[in-house]
Amino acid sequence: MTSGALVERIWARDPGVWTGSDEAHWLGWLDEPWRMHDDVDLLLQFTDAVAGRIDTVVLLGMGGSSLAPEVIKRTFREETFHVLDTTHPQAIRALEARIDVTRTLFIAASKSGSTLETRSHSDYFWERAPNGEQWVAITDPGSALEQLALERGFAAIFPGEPTIGGRYSALSAFGMVPAALMGVDVARLLQRAQEMAEACRFVEGNPGLELGRSLGDGWQAGRDKICIAPSPGGFGLWAEQLLAESTGKLGKGLIPAPGEAADGPDRQAQEVRVSGEYELGQEFFRWEFATAVAGSMLGINPFDQPDVQAAKDRTSQILATGDEPLVGPVGSPEELFAQANQGDYVCLQAFVNPTPQAEAKLAELAERARRETGCVVTQGYGPRYLHSTGQLHKGGPPTGLYLQVVDDTGDELPIPGRPFGFGRLIRAQAAGDFTLLQERGRRVARIHLEEA
């Protein structure tokens, strides 16, 4: 397909660009910079109304609901905004200790409105701050979260756009409501996104098309590891979900490796163009368009995630038994790394409290993996990665070596209304994903963080 035809057909919402299935129903992100811009005044009115009542904001969300706000927070260096996307009891306790819950605005963000982690977080903090004026929901119309927000009298409910999947929602309410509460000039950010969207209509000099072609051409040449250049705002954290969940299916996939060196026959280097904070709006759209282009070249549907639900279902099955999830050691790093072949990659899956000490240990483990295998090394915190790169791990190429890392979750932290607490939840999530990887024939091992 020529570049001109590809661009024209994407903007015409032609599902034949990909697999001819339901892709046309998931292209609302093409229009979102303009649609969201129409709501900026409403956002500003709300942020002005709560400004004198709050000192901090806590976003409760996973994957597409948390990663864009996290990157915006880092890019604009906002210290009073917190993203909670872990179920580790110690991390939840640590966050609670840092805030005054009576002067905190909580954002419950979930497109489906039924995300287990987000609902559990919301019920936990509602018990501590049962005041609807301190709560906001971002969710698709008609969801269970919307109903809950109405019942509890939340200060505001911001609707998601049903024609946008979670990982394409950075420029929707899921990214822009948090941005407004951080004090970001949302109108300016969306204006930059509009400029990029207009540029992505061109045949020549189309930044999204060029990036997408580069990603796809590299994949066709066997360079499927995408080494995303580091950036101060951690853009790769968001981009890896976009690439992995969009393309990792049917045994294919682009394998995002933020910060990894690009010198290798299976790797390609990609830059992040955020020299100024507000260029982040442009970059969100450029990578979204590029991923759609690359998806066409891979011959997959970049808007579904057929293997994500499997991990959620397995977690629920383990929790339903009432038994303690099995998260003991299985194998060893030495045995796992010894299985590495050319073109493989190592993935560290850390179901641990994300402290600086844990970060340091994981960094040492990643360096060891590079040294002993010569492979690209990726890593993610569980359960967050289950909502992002987990699709690639189970639906993508069988080239991963998966090392799950667990720790002692400490004293149990009850979840209101649930027969299990956060500790058992995160252990069930680790156990569930591990067994799924085994069933898919993936090479996998598990160690305790102290052994790393």
Tokens of 44: 């500003």
Structural domain boundaries in the chain = 3-20+202-276+284-298, 32-184, 308-451
Q: CATH number of the domain at 32-184, out of 1.25.40.10, 3.90.1300.10, 3.40.50.300, 3.40.50.10490?
A: 3.40.50.10490
CA 310/CA 437 separation, integer angstroms = 11
Which residues lie across from 403 on neighbouring strands? 348, 445
Same fold across 32-184 and 308-451: yes
Residues 6+ apart with CB under 8 A from 288: 29, 168, 170, 208, 242
Is residue 111 within 8 A of residue 64, CB to CB? The reply is yes
What is the per-residue pLDDT for 72? 98
At 206-262, the pLDDT tens digits run: 999 999 999 999 999 999 999 999 999 999 999 999 999 999 999 999 999 999 999
Cβ atoms within 10 Å, residue 339: 12
194 vs 1, more confident: 194
- pTM tops 0.85, yes or no: yes
Question: What is the arithmetic mean of pLDDT over 5-16?
Answer: 97
What is the per-residue pLDDT for 99? 98
Residues 6+ apart with CB under 8 A from 415: 120, 123, 124, 421, 422, 425
Question: Is 309's pLDDT higher than 90?
Answer: no
Burial class (CB in 10 A: 0-12, 13-18, 19+), 237: buried
At 165-210, the pLDDT tens digits run: 999 999 999 999 999 999 999 999 999 999 999 999 999 999 999 9
What is the per-residue pLDDT for 1? 85
CA 99/CA 136 separation, integer angstroms = 17
At 368-405, the pLDDT tens digits run: 999 999 999 999 999 999 999 999 999 999 999 999 99
Whose structure tokens read 């970059």?
Answer: 283
Q: Where does 280-435 show beta strands of DSSP type E? A: 345-351, 376-381, 400-406
Of 113, 99, 93, 106, nearest in space to 156 by CA: 106
Is residue 377 within 8 A of residue 401, CB to CB? The reply is no
Tokens of 441: 């024939």
CATH fold of 308-451 reads Rossmann fold (3.40.50)
